Every structure is written in structure tokens, then in C-alpha cells.
Structure 1
Amino acid sequence: MPHLHTFHFDIVTEYVRMNEQQPKPTPDDIRRTFTERGYHVDCYIDYGFYNSRRCHVYSIPFDNERMCHITHGFPGGMFINVRILRMKDDFYSFEHKFFAQVSRSFPLLSRLMVSNLKEQKEKHLEKSSIIDFSHLIELECPNVHIDYVEQFLFDSNTRLSCLNKIYISYEQLASVTENFTRRTTDINCGKLKHIIFDQNMAMVHSKDYYLYFPLLL
């Protein structure tokens, strides 16, 4: 490709099984491999079960509007162009401080997809600050532990001033909002215009439901 002047990339190898006798490459080893070829990158490595590894390598600065899904191993940085992000981890939980890091790293994020069935380990610790996702319009969390619904909807945890669409489990939403009466969740729910439930079925909602979501379309 003789006319290619710039090459930006976002590469993930998904939990490749490695021989136990092979030396484990470090993030510095991988960065050096790209740097020697003239590419500026950052990366991180996740270690799963049965000696499997996942590696995520991406260009710095990062110009894409979407990034491959990140895990708990994501080291942070500044990604001013990213608007769409997926967070997924099968082995480790996402804690409050990690979501705070994500909000700082992706300040203009408008759509966030979260997938994690691991219970938060630090949810009972005192939170030092409220996380602000000031541009987040759409949140997808149909496949999560209920801790993450609380993480986003409790106004003591997170501020979602622009959220108008959510994809979620009906049972989890009803539980966290205490059947659509809870005051600690009504601020982040009050501007919702679209709620998509993971069950494909017709539902008859209570009066409290419609009072709780007054802007639903």
C-alpha cells in the first residue's frame, strides 16, 4: 500500500489460549513492537482462565468514534472523539472508581453498552464523588448484575443529565426503583423518553410507572 500515509487501528485478540511454557508478553513488549515500526499505540492485556489472554491495542491519538469493548484492565487516557463504547468483562467486576475513570476518559460519550454479571465488590464503600456522564443519551444494560443498574440510576452514584433512552431488564428496573416510587432514582429516570425491555412481550404498566416516566413516547 504505497499511498497509505496514516494507519489508525483498534485491535483486539479475544482470549487466545497460550502454551504455558511460552513467556508472557507485557504491555511494554507490545508497545515496543509497534513503536519500532513507527506507530504510536497503547495497550493492555487481560488474563483469563486456562492460560488464555486478551490483548487490546489501539492508536494514540485515537480518532475513531467507536472503540472495541473495554474490560476492567483498560488503563485510561483521553479519547475525545469516542461517542460509542461497550464495556464487557466476564471475569472481573466494574467498580465505581472504574466508571469514574471511564467518564473522564470518554467525556463526550453519547452511547454506552455495559455487559457484566459479576457483583460489585466495593459497592458498600463510601463513594468519594458522583460520576458525571454529561453527554450520555443512550444506555444499554440488559445483561448485567443488578449492581450496575443501581450504579447508573442512583443519583448518589451517577449523574445522567441527558439520558433519554435505556435498554434494560424490566425486573431489575422495577426492583431498583422500588416499583417506580423511589426518590433516589427518579432524577436519572425523569428524562427518559424510550425504555426498551429485554423481554419481547406486551406489558400493562401501573399508574406509578407512567408518573415515574412522564416523558415516555
Structure 2
Amino acid sequence: ISNLERLGLYLTISVNERFIDGNHFKENILNHMPLLNQFTFDIRSLMFINNQMNLPSNEDIQDTFTDFHYRKIISCVDYFVERKEGQCHIYSYPYSMVYYHDITNNFPGGLFKCVRQVSLYDEHPFEHDFFLRISQSFPFLDQLSLINHHAQNSKQFSKSMNNNQNLSIVKYSYLKILRIRQVHDDYIEEFLFHTKTYFENILLDVNYKALERVTENFTRDDTRINSAKINEIYLFGDVKYPRFLHDYFPFAKIH
């Protein structure tokens, strides 16, 4: 192993006291591989949090890579109070994986042409501008899943200003699968309003009652255009099949 010149390391790991950072790499890898000249990695470390003090910030993690000369290193640290978990995601950039999981509002941006699958999670709202950033950073995205139970703030502002027409439309040119089963109703609106989001021919995974509310019992004009672009729907929860459901999703196979 000491003669290794190239190394790729990709993992998700639970830790007890410290996130994986540059110091771990130096102590456990780099000091033992003097010939290493190419090191690519994508590591998410997860830590249970329960009133700990002095939890590291993103700046603390980034500082551990100050003398790391292989590639540009990106770090992103988040703490989730509701699920009592801390997350530290570190990776070498350019990014070569086909997936990028648990993106939060702290997403640092960049261009990820290899990524096809993205999941989003946060305990703070995702606003419309956030989805613009996601679509621009992942231009070839074909699978998107989202978990967020918190209402959008900007939606309330848009209502008061009556300015939905001034929003930039988020375009998902390659999206094929959209999973929004565990979300606040605002995010179903975010994707089904044609004034906010553009897609073609997708599979939709969604909670039935939430979909019923957002589409106003499958009569709402604002969500009708994008609903006609859905070719398959998986409905979850207490599902009913009113006779006009197929009229509202005319090209969808409904499960």
C-alpha cells in the first residue's frame, strides 16, 4: 500500500466524536503513502448530536485541508435538530460520482455534469431560488427526491406581491423521476406550477392527500399544464380514485 500512487475513497460512515476531515486523511492515509499523487474522494460522516458543545463549523473542517494539494476540496457541514444528527460531506472537486445525496440549503454550488441522482433534505425551507441553483448545478439530473416538511417563506411573499409571473422558471431538461412523498404542500406546488417549473414526461411519486389539496381536488388550472406532462404516478397514503383523476392526468399510468 505504501507504493500506491492513485487512490479513490467513497463512503458514508457513522462517527462518534469527530467528523472525517483533513486531519484523518493525514494521520491515516497520507503519512503512510509517500508516493500518492492522485487522491479523489466523496465521504459523508454522520454523527448523533445531543447537546454537545463546540461542534465543528464548516470553516473548521475546511481549515484541516489548508495544506492539501491534490485537488480542490469542498466541505459542507449541517446540523439537524429534529433528527438529532450532524452531517459533514467532504469531496474532491471536480466531482465524479453519479449521485449526490442529502443536499441542504448550505449547498456550496458548482457544476456536476456526472451526477444523475440527487436527494434534498433540510429542516429549513427550500425557496424557489434554491431549486434554480440545483437545476443549474446538475444539468443532466434525471432522478430527484426531496424531504422537507417546512413551508416556503418566499411563497407567502409572492402571494402578497402577486408576482409569481416574475419568477425564473426552473428547467429540468432530463428529469425522469420525481419523488416528493414526504414534503410540505408548497413543494408540490413548486413542481406542478408551470410558471415555476418545466419538465417533460416524468414519473411522480407523491402523497395522495397532499396532491388532492394542491390541485384543489384535481380542478386547479395552475397545476393542470404540468400535470398533463406526467406519464406515471405512484400515489401513497389514503388513496381514492375519483373518476376525474384520469382526466386531470390524461397521459399518466396511475398506481
The verdict on a shared fold, with TM-score over 0.5 as the criterion, is: yes
TM-score normalised by the chain length of structure 2:
0.74
The aligned amino acid for 1:40 is: K
1:123 alignment partner, SS class:
helix
Q: Write the letter of the residue equivalent to 1:165.
A: L
Partner SS, residue 147 of structure 2: strand
Which residue of 194, 218, 239 maps to 1:155?
194
Structure 1 residue aligned with 2:153? 121
CA contact (8 A) 1:34 1:40 kept: no
Shift of the alpha carbon at 1:121?
A: 1.3
Which one-letter code corresponds to 1:134 in the other structure?
S
**Separation in structure 2 between the aligned mates of residue 83 and residue 52 of structure 1, nearest angstrom:** 26
Give the Å deviation of 1:104.
Answer: 0.9
Residues 12, 68 of structure 1: 8 Å contact kept:
no
* Structure ranking higher in strand proportion: 2
Verify: 1:173 aligned to 2:211, yes or no.
yes
Partner of 2:242: 205
Distance change (3 Å), C-alpha of 1:68 and 1:178: same
**Counterpart amino acid of residue 99 in structure 1:** F
Could you tell me how far apart the structure 2 residues matched to 1:45 and 1:135 are? 29
Q: Which amino acid aligns with 2:187?
A: Y
Instruction: Indicate whether 1:36 and 2:67 are aligned.
Output: yes
CA distance in 1, matches of 2:63, 2:107: 18
Confirm or deny that 1:103 pairs with 2:139: no
CA distance in 2, matches of 1:10, 1:200: 39
Change (3 A) 1:194 1:15: same
Deviations 1:135-172 (A, max 9, x none): 11110011111111011111111112x24200001111
- The separation in 2 between residues aligned to 1:82 and 1:155, in whole angstroms, is 25
Residue 192 of structure 1: aligned partner: 230
Corresponding residue of 1:10: 42
The 3 A distance-change label for structure 1 pair 191 and 52 is closer
Report the CA distance between 1:195 and its aligned residue. Answer: 0.5
Matched-pair identity in %:
34
Aligned-CA RMSD value:
2.4
Match of 1:86 in 2: 119
1:152 alignment partner AA: F
**Alignment match, 1:131:** 170
- Deviation by residue 1:2-23 (Cα, 9 ceiling, x = unmatched): 4451423222223443742x4x
Moved over 4 A (4+): none
- Deviates further, 186-195 or 59-68: 186-195
1:26-61 CA-partner distances (Å, limit 9, x unpaired): 434423434534343211222344996422112200
Per the normalisation by structure 1, the TM-score is 0.86
Matched, 1:215 2:246: no
Q: Which has the larger radius of gyration?
A: 2
Equivalent position of 2:29 in the other structure: none
Relative distance call for 1:4 and 1:181 in structure 2 (3 A) is farther
Deviation at 1:215, TM superposition (A): 1.5
Give, in whole Å, the separation in 1 of the partners of 2:117 and 2:201: 14
> 1:81 is matched by which residue type in structure 2?
C
Whether the 8 Å CA contact 1:15–1:48 is kept in 2: the answer is no
CA contact (8 A) 2:209 2:238 kept: no
Counterpart Cα distance in 2 of 1:113 and 1:10: 20
Q: Which amino acid aligns with 1:195?
A: I
CA drift at 1:130: 1.4
Shift of 1:188: 1.3
Unpaired runs of 5+ residues, structure 2, are 9-39, 159-163
Are 2:174 and 1:143 equivalent residues in the alignment? Answer: no
For this pair of structures, how many residues does the alignment match? 211
